[in-house]
Amino acid sequence: MAGRPTSPAEIVNPAAVMTLAMIQSERWCLLDLGAEINQEHVVIQWCARRRLLRNCSTCGSCNLPKHVTNYAQNVESKRRKCRACNTTRSIRYQSFFSRSHLSLRQIIIFLYSLCARSANLGYRYQTCEQIPL
């Protein structure tokens, strides 16, 4: 019974999805973060474990799980697909990243840099115009 392996319904094993307390207790430095998310498929898993992307999704028409499939035409090379009705949707759907054209890696590194700079300056949040050069 050989053949193509079926695509998974989840990005990562559901047991690997972190709790909010686990996420909040993490500490990263830019060097480690850059090494951790150095490939797009790894970034997708990294985001799913930290609840930045939905780990699984259900088709709104069929109420069946959508599977993660390869899709070369978008930046992550992955989409979710319903096997019953063949509809597809971005893995970024209903996430913070949904309207961006940057790669997930670019966004995470940018946000890390912004947060690190803000923390070093003693600010919790500032707009770009408020950060001294």
Interacting residue ranges for Zn ion, rule: CB under 5 A? 59, 61-62, 82, 84-85
d(CA 65, CA 63): 7
Give the start-end residues of each E strand in 1-133. 57-58, 65-70, 78-81, 88-90
Cα–Cα distance measured from residue 32 to residue 7, given in angstroms and rounded to the nearest whole number:
30
Q: How far apart are CA 47 and CA 51, in angstroms?
A: 6
Instruction: State the nearest-atom distance from the C-beta of 116 to Zn ion, in Å.
Output: 42
**Which of 87/95 has CB closer to Zn ion?**
87
In whole angstroms, how close is the CB of 106 to Zn ion at the nearest point? Answer: 31
Quote the least distance from Cβ 70 to Zn ion, whole Å.
19
Nearer to Zn ion, 42 or 62 (CB): 62
Closer CB to Zn ion, residue 84 or residue 102? 84
